[in-house]
Amino acid sequence: MNQGDYLTYRKAATTAIIGLVIQLILTLTVFFYARSATDATGGIAAIFLLSGVLVWGVLLLVFDQHRRERIETMEAEQLAVSGAAAASAFENTGDEMRVAARRLAFMYKWIVPGTAILLALINIWFGFATYRNIEPGQINTTDHAGWALAIGIAVAVVGFVFARFISGMAKVDAWANLRAGATTSVAAALVGVILGVGGFLDLALGIDFVINYGPHIVSIGMMAYGAEIILNLLLDIYRPRKPGELPRPAFDSRFLSLLAAPDRIAENVGEAVNYQFGIDVTSSWFYQLLSRWILAFIAIAVGIGWLMSSLVVVEPHERGLILTNGVISEPLFSIGGEQGDGDVGPGLHVKWPWPFSTYETPVSVGTGDEEVRTTTGVRVLHLASNPPSEDNKPILWTENHTRSERLNIVQPERNQDTESRANGEGGASTVAELSLVAAEVPMHYVVRNVKLFDQFAAPGQREQVLRQVGRRVVTQYFGELAIDEVLATHRTTMPSELKGRLEEAYAQFNNGAGAGIEILFIGINGVHPPTRVAPSFERVISARQNRESLVEEALKAQISELADVAGSVELAEEISEKLRELDALRRSVGSDSDEYIEAELEVQRILERAGGEAGELILSASAKRWVRHMSERGLASLLQGQQEAYLAAPELYRSKMYFEALLEAMADARVYLTPAELESLKVRLELQDKQAGTTVFDAERGAASQ
């Protein structure tokens, strides 16, 4: 081997040093950008680029050892030519003096594959860990899209240009292993492309998809790169190799090598096209024209894409602002688009291209923390306590509704004592009587005037300002109400009154022009006292419920009694009113007047018609009166007939009455008949009633005696 071989490997080692320095600079640049911008994409990309430092370090060691091996070989050849070997004590050692060659072989056998395994583990481990730690609903955000664009372009340009330079050197057989360095540089260029495209889409078109999912893209790329290294290691075990051929490192990515040398892709595609069509397509005039003007066509396409940034399509649910050099301006012209007071509405508008002019629209956060670019979308601010996390779970007053509830000061319950003290009666109290209450006050609003909404506060402080002003109004409003009004009586009127006060407060923004919002709804939900005093409220409510229950029971008894007495409550009230009128009439005209008697009869007829117990008693008394009346009348008629019979025949009437009385007296008596000539009568009597005994099987026997 001649001196040119030694210089060749020294050139490769110098190039490896340059590549190592450039890789370190790119890694540090991306790392400091990620730290300052809190960009997760830059953080995982910095780890990926840092792993490339190992590649350049191994290449530096390998090429430097090649240089030493070439020097050692040259010295051995010179020693053999000079004849000093015959006089040397080591003439029979052979290859034992080739220390550099043995070290080079050791590097290719152990250090290069070991470095490949280490690179595969680093990329697969960090890539998988990053992808696993990023939840499906979690996205990456950054407020430094401009820096992402600038740094991304710089990294992409430097990485690709250096990769092209290294891939050109790798065409030399002695420098073939530099292809691994070219793949590392083109990987850095791809990282720069991801950062630059994400920043460009966010600034020019407002599309943050690439920035949001950049960590996923880089982590998947790292895992794919590590998997390719493992695959290359396995394939190198079974790949045949010519004698003296240097092994290709496993971390030399075949896919990234194609990106580092795109001219080879064109050659391969051209050969495939020629093979498929059977003719030399690459020699045609169209292919030659396309190959000569390809850069111009690319420049024209980029220019058209840049000019398209001057077109703004505002969707039906949007309104936005056109900013020219940071100042609100009108569009150059609109094609069917609406223009308002400094803002633009739905339609197509033409502005100056980016970055001279940009279009901005407020961002409303929807469900699931998904950002939806909209203006007329409904937004919600909670001006008091936050809503509970579980909407469907019942919550009692004795339980916390949410974390860190906001308690508002309200007046105590209004009663006669508090009103008299408030009016200065009964002396002044030395202790202020106040109550606390928690409530949820959601405010739903939409943006109606984007210009006013953009001007009253900084972009990151608008909702905070609206929330603070709203909470001040809510606190003042609750402080004017009593605890019983907030909990019960004023629940239906509170939202409308609070909405009016909030509109007045927000109307003071922008020197009286307003905040550019429209309040759609104000709700007052989940009103409750503090949890530690909730049992006292429950006892009061329980007492009120018991009182209401007793009142209802009394009303029930009243209705039952009135219905039993008068048939219905209405008739009972009517009868009661008539009785009061009758009593007043008795006191005024007396109870013997015809007017009083007629009124009394009318009340009696009403009672009889009602059908209650009073009516039944009156009807029963009337029936008994008529029975007795007719009985007495019959007795009077009988007496009159007996008197007429007596006057007609007194003796006969007396005899008849005598014998009827005797017959009635002797109806159930025992009669003993004895002869008149009997001188001594001894009578033995068995005083036993013949009918005293009766049969138990005859139900009618003994009924007469009873």
Please give the span between the terminal C-alpha atoms of the chain, in angstroms, as a whole number.
157
User: Which residues are bridge partners to 357 per DSSP?
Assistant: 324
Mean pLDDT of 529-547: 77
CA distance 119 to 55: 8
Is 333 strand, coil or helix? strand
pLDDT in tens, 491-524: 888 889 999 999 999 988 888 888 888 899 998 8
Half-sphere exposure of 146 (CA within 13 A, CB side): 2
The arithmetic mean of pLDDT across residues 21-37, rounded, is: 89
Model confidence band, residue 17 (pLDDT cutoffs 50, 70, 90): very high
Whether the CB-CB separation of 139 and 212 falls below 8 Å is answered with: yes
User: Closest Cα to residue 170, out of 181, 161, 179?
Assistant: 179
290-295 contacts: CB < 8 A, separation 24 or more? 291/266
Residue from 281, 290, 335 nearest 313 by CA: 335
Would you state the pLDDT for residue 28? 92
Q: What's the token pair of residue 135?
A: 């939840």
CA atoms of 635 and 612, how far apart (whole Å): 35
Report percent pLDDT > 70 for the chain. Answer: 78
Tell me the pLDDT band of 276, cut-offs 50, 70 and 90.
low
Residue 428 has pLDDT above 50, yes or no: no
Domains and CATH numbers, the chain: 3-82+97-271 (no CATH), 308-361 (no CATH), 380-419+432-529 (3.30.479.30), 552-635 (no CATH)
Candidates 116, 159, 119, 126; CA nearest to 43 is 126
Comparing 159 with 343, the larger pLDDT belongs to 159
Residues counted in the chain: 706
Q: Give residue 140's pLDDT.
A: 65
How far does CA 23 lie from the centroid of its chain?
A: 46
Q: What is the arithmetic mean of pLDDT over 463-486?
A: 88
Q: At what angle do helices 534-566 and 613-648 cross, to 10 degrees?
A: 20
Instruction: State both tokens at 615.
Output: 């009516």
CB neighbourhood size of 123 (10 A): 24
Q: What is the pLDDT of residues 588-598, one digit of tens each?
A: 877 777 777 77
Confidence of residue 432 (pLDDT cuts 50, 70, 90): low
- Confidence at 10, pLDDT banded by 50, 70, 90: confident
Give the dihedral of Cα atoms 241, 242, 248, 249; nearest 10 deg: 60
Structure token digits, residue 188: 């850095």
Query: Residue 427 has what pLDDT?
Result: 47
Report residue 96's pLDDT band, with 50, 70 and 90 as the boundaries. low
3-class secondary structure, 84: coil
pLDDT digits (tens, 9 = 90+) for 343-355: 787 888 888 888 8
| Cβ-based neighbour number of residue 459 at 10 Å | 11
**Residue 392 pLDDT greater than 70, yes or no:** no
In order, the DSSP letters of 43-58 are: HHHHHHHHHHHHHHHH
Judged by average pLDDT, the poorest of 268-282, 376-390, 447-461 is: 268-282
**Chain segment 161-188, per-residue pLDDT in tens:** 888 888 888 888 888 888 888 889 889 8
Q: Which residue has the higher pLDDT, 436 or 686?
A: 436
Half-sphere exposure of 131 (CA within 13 A, CB side): 15
Which pTM value belongs to this model?
0.45
What is the reported pLDDT for 25?
Answer: 92
- pLDDT per position as a tens digit, 599-657: 777 777 777 676 677 767 777 777 888 888 888 888 888 888 888 888 888 888 888 88
Q: What is the model's pLDDT at position 18?
A: 92
- What whole-number distance in Å separates Cα of residue 699 and Cα of residue 705? 13
Q: At what angle do helices 214-238 and 40-82 cross, to 10 degrees?
A: 30
Residue environment code for 362-401, b if the CB has 16+ CB neighbours within 10 A, otherwise e: bebeeeeeeeebbbbbebebbbbbeebeeeeeeeebeeeb
Give the pLDDT confidence score for residue 137 in this predicted structure: 46
Per-residue pLDDT at 597: 75
More confident residue, 202 or 121: 121
Please, what is the average pLDDT of the chain? 78
Highest mean pLDDT among 110-124, 439-453, 680-694: 110-124
Whose tokens are 């025949």? That residue is: 649
What gap in Å lies between CA 356 and CA 179, rounded to an integer?
41
Q: Indicate the DSSP class of residue 310.
A: G
Q: Where does the pLDDT of residue 700 fall: very low under 50, low under 70, confident under 90, or very high at 90 and above?
A: low
